[in-house]
Chain A
Amino acid sequence: MGKRVALEGNEAVAEAMRQINPDVVAAYPITPSTEIVQNFAQFVSDGQVDTNFVAVESEHSAMSACLAAAVAGGRVMNATSANGLALMWEILYIVSSMRQPVILTVVNRALSGNINIHCDHSDSMGARDTGWVQIFAEDVQEAYDNLLQAVAIGESMDVRLPVMSCLDGFLLSHSYELLEVESDEAVREWVGPYKPLNPMLDISDPKTFGPLDLYDYYFEHKRSQLDAYPPAKEAIIAEGKRFGEAFGREYGLLEEFMTEDADFVMVALGSTCGAIRDVVQGLRDNGVKAGLLKVRAFRPFPAEEIAAALQGASAVAVLDRSASYGAHAGPLYAEVTSALYSYGKQVPTNNYIYGLGGREILPDDLEQAFGDLQKVAESGQPAEPVSFLGLRE
C-alpha cells in the first residue's frame, strides 16, 4: 500500500530513485536539483540502495559516465538543471544516438546570463532537439509518478531512448506537497528488473559501439533513430495507462481540462497548468467556455493529438516559459501552430511569453490572456502574435 506524505519535489524524486534502485548514478550538483543527488547519496551511504554512485567533476563527465555505464549494460539515472544540462549537451546527443535509456531529472531553471537560479524552461527547450523524450510535471505527485514511468518508457524494447523528466525549479523542487508514495515492493514490481539490450560487457557476443560513421552510413543511422519516436509516443500512452491500472493515476501525452466544448483554450507546460486550471474553473463559473490543454510530453511532440484537441476552439493561447531567440515566437507556440497547420486546422493563436527567470505568473495575467482570446474570437483578427505576461512594460 502506498502512503500519503508531504515531500518537496526534490525529495519525491530522490525517493523514486531509491525505490528504482538504479545500477549507476553519476552526478554533479547544481541548484535547484542539488537535493536530489544529495538525498540519493545519503541513501547510498546508508546502504539503502545497491547503486554505484560516481561523484564526478562536471556535468560533462556526469553524462559521459552515465553513457558508458548504460552502454556497459546498466540502468542509469542522473539529475541536473540549467547550466549543468548545457554542459552535458554534447553527450546528450550521443546517448540518444546510441539508444541508451538513461533517465535524467531536469529541475527547470533559467540559463545564464545574467545568472539566475529560478524557474523557466530555457534549459529543457534548448535540449529539445537532442533526441531525448521530455515529460513535464504539473505538481510533485506527477514529478514522482513521471520518474517511475520514464524508466518504463525509455526501456521499452521498441523505444530504447533516454528520457528527461522535467519539473519546475523551486515551484515544485522546493515546495512541499501531499502526495501518494507507493510501496517499495509495488514500485519495484511495476518498474521491473532492467533488461539490457546489446550490453558491451557481454563479451560472448562482442560488437562495435560508437564507430566512425561518415557519409556512407551516418544518414541511415539517423533515419533509423527517427523511427524510435512514434513508438515512444505509444509507450507514453501505454505506460501511463498501466500506471493508472496499478496506482489509480492515469497519464497520457496530453491532459485536457474542460476543452471538449471550450471556445478559448490555453496550452501550457509544467506547474503553471495548476494556476490555469483554477482560472478556467472561475471563468466557467461566469459562463465563459474556457479550457486548458496541458502538454505533458513535449518530446516526442504530440502534434496530431494537439491539433485534434484544439479542433473546436475559436481562439487559442500558447504559453511559453522560454524565448527562442531569433525565432518568430516561443518554442511551444511554434510547434503548436505548426501542428495546427500540418493537420489542416485554422484557429487564431496568440503566444504569451511569461515567467522568465522565475517571474511570477498571477491569475490576473491568465485572465487577461483569456480576455484577449475573447476579443480575438469576436473580431476574427489575431492579436500581436507574441506578447508578454508579467513583464513591466
Chain B
Amino acid sequence: MSRHYPPDAKWHEMERGGIIPQAGNATEYTVGGWRNEHPVRDNECCIDCLFCWIYCPDVAVHIKDESVKYQGFSSDHCKGCGICAAVCPKDCIEMVPGGEFQPDEPGQSEEE
C-alpha cells in the first residue's frame, strides 16, 4: 500500500489540514544523499544499550532481536548527522569521512 498521495493527486482529493491519512511514510523519503560522513560501529565495544537506535532521527540504525550488533545502518536513510556517535555511552561509533558505507564495515546498506 502506498503511504502517500500519488504525484498527480488533485487538491480536492487530498485530506484537509495537510494530513497524510497514513502513517510511517517517512520511509519513502530518503536522505542518504545528504551524507558526507558515515557512522562505523566497533561491535566489540558495543553493549547493546540501544541509545543509538532510539536517538537516530531517521530510524537508520537497524535492530534485530533487540540487538544492533552486526546489523547495518540504512544507506538510504542515514543522513550522516552523527547523533548516534554523540549519544553512544561507550564511544563505539566513529563518524568516518565519505558518504559511502564500505563493505567491510558493519554499516553497509541493508534496506528493510
Contacts and interface: CB of A to CB of B under 8 A. Distances in A.
11 contacts: A97-B17, A97-B18, A98-B19, A99-B16, A198-B17, A198-B19, A208-B19, A208-B20, A209-B19, A217-B14, A224-B12
**Residue of A206, A211, A213 with most chain B CB atoms under a 10 A cut-off:** A211
Contacts of B5: 217
Contact of A224 (B11, B21, B25): B11
Interface residues of B, number: 19
A221 B11 CA distance: 6
Interface string B1-26: 00001010111101111111111110
Nearest to A71: B17
Contact of A211 (B11, B14, B18): B18
A210 B7 CA distance: 18
Given A220-B9, A221-B11, A228 B16 contact: yes
A213 B18 contact: yes
> What are the 4 closest A-B residue pairs judged by CB atoms, nearest first?
A206-B23, A99-B17, A220-B11, A208-B20
Contacts of B23: 206-208
Interface string A219-234: 1110111011000000
Contact of A160 (B7, B14, B17, B18): B17
Contact of A221 (B18, B21, B22, B29): B18
- Chain A contact residues: over half helix, strand or loop, or mixed? loop
A137 to B, nearest CB: 28
A393 interface: no
B7 A98 contact: no
Contacts of A212: 29
A147 to B, nearest CB: 24
Given A216-B7, A217-B5, A220-B11, A225 B19 contact: no
B10 A208 contact: no
Contacts of B16: 99, 160, 224-225, 227-228
A207 B11 contact: no
Contacts of A100: 17
A223 B14 CA distance: 10
Interface size bucket, A side? 20 to 34
B17 A211 contact: no
A211 B26 CA distance: 9
B73 to A, nearest CB: 22
Contacts of A217: 5, 9, 14
A216 B5 CA distance: 10
A90 to B, nearest CB: 16
A207 B21 contact: yes
Given A212-B29, A216-B7, A217-B5, A227 B12 contact: yes
A319 B15 CA distance: 40
A98 B15 CA distance: 10
A220 B17 CA distance: 11
B22 A207 contact: yes
Contact of A220 (B14, B19, B20, B21): B14
A159 to B, nearest CB: 10
Contact of A207 (B7, B12, B20, B29): B20
B12 to A, nearest CB: 7
A219 B5 CA distance: 14
A350 B64 CA distance: 74
A219 B18 CA distance: 11
Interface string B62-103: 000000000000000000000000000000000000000000
A257 B5 CA distance: 50
B25 to A, nearest CB: 6
Contact of B17 (A98, A206, A216, A219): A98
Given A216-B7, A217-B5, A224-B11, A210 B18 contact: yes
Most buried by A among B9, B11, B18, B23: B18
Interface in A332-380: none
